[in-house]
């Protein structure tokens, strides 16, 4: 489980220090890929494999399924944190998420998300107002 919001800096080589509390869960490696809302997602290998299994069961004769599989799988890259706990973000993914120096690393329960700091601030401010409504919509009282 990944929780919390962190504000590391991206260095000139596209690396950032993974928050210490996330390192043990990613000790066996991770998969990084494009995510919704122009951020990146980092999954444990096991969680990514579970998602791939689910995605591969969808009918690839459906155009939208093929498009999703291409975006999800085509942008995915495997990685491991170095001995100092740094993670490298490939150039293609940095461009997709418009990452420069100031980034935000968000623990999104089942994954880690990496955002451009300004994009995250705007998104977070917008969603804050809708948070209570989302709760009622996603988890309706029974």
Window from 20-24, 57-61, 82-86 with minimum mean pLDDT: 57-61
Share of the chain above pLDDT 70, in %: 96
Q: Looking at the domain 2-138, which fold is it?
A: Chemotaxis protein chec (3.40.1550)
Window from 13-17, 82-86, 136-140 with minimum mean pLDDT: 136-140
Burial (CB < 10 A; 0-12, 13-18, 19+), residue 10, is buried
- pLDDT at position 133: 75
The answer, yes or no, to whether residue 18 has pLDDT greater than 70, is yes
CA 101 – CA 56 distance, rounded (Å): 35
Confidence of residue 139 (pLDDT cuts 50, 70, 90): confident
Section 49-78 average pLDDT? 91
Contacts of 101 (CB under 8 A, 6+ apart): 9, 10
Structure-block tokens of residue 136: 């009622």
Mean pLDDT of the chain: 92
CA 101 – CA 117 distance, rounded (Å): 9
Q: How many CA atoms lie within 13 A of 123 on its CB side?
A: 14
Each residue of 68-125: pLDDT tens digit? Answer: 889 889 999 999 999 999 999 999 999 999 999 999 999 999 999 999 999 999 999 9
């Amino acid at each position: 489980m990944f929780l919390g919001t962190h504000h590391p800096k991206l260095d000139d080589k596209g690396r950032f220090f993974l928050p210490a509390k996330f390192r043990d869960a990613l000790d066996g490696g991770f998969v990084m890929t494009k995510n919704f809302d122009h951020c990146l997602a980092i999954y444990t290998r096991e969680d990514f494999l579970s998602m791939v299994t689910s995605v591969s069961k969808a009918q690839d004769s459906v155009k939208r399924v093929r498009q999703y599989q291409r975006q999800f799988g085509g942008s995915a890259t495997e990685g491991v944190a170095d001995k100092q706990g740094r993670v490298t973000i490939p150039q293609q993914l940095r461009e997709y998420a418009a990452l420069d120096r100031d980034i935000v690393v968000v623990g999104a329960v089942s994954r880690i998300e990496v955002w451009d700091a300004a994009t995250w601030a705007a998104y977070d401010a917008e969603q804050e107002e809708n948070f209570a409504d989302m709760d009622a919509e996603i988890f309706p009282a029974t």
